[in-house]
Amino acid sequence: MKLVPALSLFSVVPIALVGCTAPASPRPDGGTALVLADGYELGNYNPVAGFGEAGEAKVYDGLVRLSGGRDSGIPALEPALAAEMPVPDADAKVWTVRIRNGVRFTDGTPFGPEDVVATYRAILDPASASPLATSYDMLESVQATGPDTVEFRLAYPYSPWPTKLLLGIAPSERLTGGLAEQSPLNSAPVGTGPYELVSLRADQAVYEANEDCWDGAPQVKRLTVVYVPDDNARAQRMASGELDGANLPPLLANTFADRDGYEVVANTSADWRGVTLPADNPVTADPAMRTALNLAVDRGAMVESILAGHGRAASTPVPEVYGDAYEPSAVFPFDRVRAEQILSDAGWVPGPDGVRVRDGARAEFTVMYFPQDTLRRDLSQAFASDASKIGVRVNVEAVDRSVFPDQLTAKAGLLGGGDLPYDPDTQLYSTLHSSYARPGVGSGYDNASNYVNSRIDRALDEARRSVDAAARAADYRAVQTAYVADPGYVMLVFLDHTYVVRDSDWTGRAPILEPHSHGVGWGPWWNLREWTRP
């Protein structure tokens, strides 16, 4: 076998796909409807099953919500179903929330403290098998303490608790127990949000404005989301004039940059892409191999050639947006010579075909990616190309999502993270803490390298339980310093999420730091309830 070749037609193919299509034309919809294409499957709308954890759900409201207008830095939180921001006790172990009165769900039932209690208790209920349960391990109990008051009691101090209140609230009558993934809410959600789901097929979801929404009825009256998993197909349908917007990877999005009637929107995110290094694989578990691979990748070239400049290099899962909690010295420089020396010193010597060997074992492993995700494919190929230049053979394999997690113990995966980036704890804990390396803890993508580092565990735990902002920041800087000395992944890039929208006279779009999720629930449409037009 030959080593994986260098990068090929990253910038040529996407342009050819849409370069000969007609400009956008007006839509005959009366001006109050939008049609968007998403690459993510429709359905699974139960908040207990993890839907809208970061507050992006259009059918639900959380107790708090994000406040937009800042495309870098951590966005502020503001009350939503809470009448005011939650109030902690001195130890940040008891949080009291006064809820908003006069709110109704889209099924006509009134919203009350019992709905908040039922939603959070369902997450904790083992019978729900909620994927969020481990991330709420600090929650000891939740109860209504009055007709408009809810009290959360935590097992330990947790100052970023308000970020956990972005989760949408469902009616208590609809939370009937059993597996969250089998709840009727997955296909027939009921919330207090600005939109109500009126139709759902495998390839299309239709929402209509909630005219009785407590926050006022939205001016965009109808939203249709079509499921188009293939990136190129979404670009083609966007170019044909069929759509008002779509999420697209950077190179495809950039093909619309100079086209009349379209706009390319890039939002800053804390969404990283990186390669797992399985602890059970003898090649990727080797500390020298892990460090060498981190030095061998040309992150800057990936940002420019694959992200078209829409992103930043990533050495750790911590982006600069975290301010004092960010450690600027915790980076891996691009140093191929040093990478080769580290491998040679560790006994990995070049074999006859150029692939290094040690004690009869070849420096060879597989990186998986999702078949329809062209960005992950391109990053996987770029990583393989860089690894080949230091004598490491990386095979790139497209693997379906349904079986992907089961193979992560033996094969590396091109993964993403940053699901809830509005505090360093939620950005880092499930990615690096060794408790998530245990079988059955979290999802199959949490700590996917099965990474164990006691120094990092200790710093993460101290930061999680501290109420002192300066001490927390110091702990997170220590995490990054310890990580670059003993990496568990090859972090590659942080993405700017890219979208294409048709020109219109709608106003109200507000930039915001986005999480890992970047379907059409985010992008220009995350605050659709606030859009207005002349």
Locate tokens 């990068």: which residue? Answer: 7
Give me the phi and psi of 322, to 5 degrees please: -85, 5
> For residues 433 and 447, is the Cβ–Cβ distance under 8 A?
yes
Please choose, from the candidates 496, 228, 276, 229, the residue with its C-alpha nearest in 3D space to the C-alpha of residue 380: 276
> For residues 264 and 238, is the Cβ–Cβ distance under 8 A?
no
Provide the whole-model pTM.
0.91
Burial bucket for residue 424 (CB in 10 Å: 0-12, 13-18, 19+): buried
Query: How far apart, in whole angstroms, are the C-alpha atoms of residue 228 and residue 230?
Result: 6
Please choose, from the candidates 265, 224, 270, the residue with its C-alpha nearest in 3D space to the C-alpha of residue 247: 265
Burial bucket for residue 280 (CB in 10 Å: 0-12, 13-18, 19+): exposed
Interior/surface letters 479-510, b for 16+ CB within 10 angstroms, e for the rest: bbbbbbeebbbbbbbbbbbbbbbbebebeebb
> For residues 218 and 193, is the Cβ–Cβ distance under 8 A?
no
Q: Distance from CA of residue 104 to its chain's centroid?
A: 30
Task: Name the E strands within 354-488.
Answer: 356-358, 361-362, 364-369, 393-398, 412-417
> For residues 264 and 499, is the Cβ–Cβ distance under 8 A?
yes
Q: Distance from CA of residue 437 to its chain's centroid?
A: 20
Classify residue 17 as left (phi > 0), alpha (psi -120 to 50) or beta.
alpha
Per-residue pLDDT of the chain (534 residues; tens, 9 = 90+): 333 333 333 333 343 444 444 444 445 455 899 999 999 999 999 999 999 999 999 999 999 999 986 656 899 999 999 999 999 999 999 999 999 999 999 999 999 999 999 999 999 999 999 999 999 999 999 999 999 999 999 999 999 999 999 999 999 999 999 999 999 999 999 999 999 999 999 999 999 999 999 999 999 999 999 999 999 999 999 999 999 999 999 999 999 999 999 999 999 999 999 999 999 999 999 999 999 999 999 999 999 999 999 999 999 999 999 999 999 999 999 999 999 999 999 999 999 999 999 999 999 999 999 998 999 999 999 999 999 999 999 999 999 999 999 999 999 999 999 999 999 999 999 999 999 998 888 888 999 999 999 999 999 999 999 999 999 999 999 999 999 999 999 999 999 999 999 999 999 999 999 999 889 999 999 999 999 998
Amino acid (1-letter code) at residue 236: Q
